[in-house]
Amino acid sequence: MQDHVEQTSRWEKTLATWIATPAAEHFADILPQLHAFHFRHNAAYRAFAKSSGVAEVVADWRSIPCVPQDAFKHADLRSFPEEETIKTFRTSGTTGEGFGQHHFRTLDVYEAAVREGWKLGGLTRGTLLVLAPHPDEAPHSSLSHMMAILAAREDFIARGGRIDVARLQSATQAVCLLGTALGFLRLFEEMQTLGIRLQLPPGSNALETGGYKGSGRDIARTDLYAMFTDYLGIEPGNIFNEYGMTELSSQFYARGPRGLHHGPPWARAVVADPVTLREVAEGETGILLIYDAANVGSVVGIRTRDLAVRRGKAFELLGRDPAALPRGCSRAADEWLTR
């Protein structure tokens, strides 16, 4: 047990240090070692790896098996003793669907990944205004926690599910708005009802995430981004999309309505054939596999339910597999805004 604790602590320090001074060439060395660590100390993952024909030692990180997202609903994917858990993030679930859980022994690596990923994504360091619940109101939301790492509590402007439009009207310096796509859509609809149009200060931008899971709405990104210009004066080229999920610790960012998603040096996205799970050719469509070294306490490889097109080292996100259930950390924020 003591050896396990020391190994865990050592891995946490290693990952936190690497993320603070990221070097892409370390990825190929670290991922197979993390897989071996998880294989030894995570019984559910070990059983999955063995069923996939993968042993403890792998020569190439691409050989690491990707656990399906849904496994977080049914298995305890934790590579440390349960009693050492300090935080559990949950996906939003509905009756009969259940919810996934991502457990953390420490949030040091997770929070470092959020901060450094934000910088590498080229996003603003100025005043952030958040259209989502604060962690005090949504303690199990990874999205709320992520945004609270970046923004001060007083900058959450949707208290109790009601958006403070007056806070936007009073902005005198450039701001960055953070929220879900559906949350922004509701903001624009409220502004339309109130007859409000704003021209936010020069340099303002926005980050949207989450799509329209479970809402029955489906609006093209180009149309949504046009609303940012119409209602807030933010041009489409100054709007970012964040791709992340409860089961990951890192995020991928794209800029503009047709932007490609890029990840940090400690994470990789692979667009794979959904049957063979082999990487597709450039320009082809497949299922998205994410390898995230910041998932030091769970598993590094996750098979998502999202479709994408391979574009060099980046990917073009197409959206949720039509056969997938609507879910995700963003949906909890969306439901909270309609209470």
- HEC string of the chain equals CHHHHHHHHHHHHHHHHHHHCCCHHHHHHHHHHHHHHHHHHCHHHHHHHHHCCCCCCCCCHHHCCCEECCHHHHCCCCCCCHHHCCEEEECECCCCCCCCEEEECCCHHHHHHHHHHHHHCCCCCCEEEEECCCCCCCCCCHHHHHHHHHCCHHHECCHHHCCCHHHHHCCCCCEEEEEEHHHHHHHHHHHHHHCCCCCCCCCCEEEEECCCCCCCCCCCHHHHHHHHHHHHCCCHHHEEEEECCCCCCCCEEEECCCCCEECCCCEEEEEECCCCCCECCCCCEEEEEEEECCCCCCCCEEEEEEEEEEECCEEEEEEECCCCCCCEHHHHHHHHCCC
As a dihedral over the C-alpha atoms of residue 152, residue 155, residue 161, residue 165, rounded to 10 degrees, the angle is: 180
Q: Yes or no: say if 37 and 79 are a contact pair by the CB < 8 Å rule.
A: yes
Q: What digits encode the pLDDT tens for the residues 49-59? A: 999 999 999 99
pLDDT-derived band at 123, boundaries 50, 70, 90: confident
Q: Which residue has the higher pLDDT, 335 or 188?
A: 188
Residue 3 CA to residue 26 CA, distance in Å, equals 24
Residue 109 CA to residue 80 CA, distance in Å, equals 15
Q: Yes or no: say if 217 and 182 are a contact pair by the CB < 8 Å rule.
A: yes
Q: What is the pLDDT of residue 1?
A: 58
> Above 90 in pLDDT, residue 99?
no
> Above 80 in pLDDT, residue 22?
no
- 205 contact partners, CB below 8 Å, separation of at least 6: 123, 124, 174, 176, 177, 234, 238, 239, 240
User: Any idea how long the chain is?
Assistant: 339
Residue 183 CA to residue 186 CA, distance in Å, equals 5
Q: Yes or no: say if 182 and 92 are a contact pair by the CB < 8 Å rule.
A: no
Say which residue the tokens 């998603």 belong to.
Answer: 261
- Comparing C-alpha atoms, which of 173, 169, 157 is closest to residue 125? 173
What CATH number does domain 110-264+322-336 carry, 3.40.50, 3.30.300, 1.20.910, 1.10.10? Answer: 3.40.50
Q: Yes or no: say if 92 and 86 are a contact pair by the CB < 8 Å rule.
A: no
Average pLDDT over residues 192-209: 94
Which residues are paired to 269 by β-bridges? Answer: 290
Average pLDDT over residues 25-36: 92
Percentage of residues of the chain with pLDDT beyond 90? 77
Average pLDDT over residues 61-66: 96
Q: What is the pLDDT of residue 98?
A: 77
Q: What is the pLDDT of residue 2?
A: 58
pTM over 0.85: yes
Q: What is the pLDDT of residue 247?
A: 97
> Above 60 in pLDDT, residue 193?
yes
**Sequence spans of domains, the chain:** 2-84+267-303, 110-264+322-336
- 324 contact partners, CB below 8 Å, separation of at least 6: 305
Q: Yes or no: say if 130 and 151 are a contact pair by the CB < 8 Å rule.
A: yes
Q: What is the pLDDT of residue 322?
A: 61
Q: What is the pLDDT of residue 327?
A: 46
Q: What is the pLDDT of residue 323?
A: 59
Q: Indicate the average pLDDT of the chain.
A: 89
Nearest-5° Cα angle at 270, 52 to 29 = 75
Q: What digits encode the pLDDT tens for the residues 157-171? A: 998 878 899 999 999
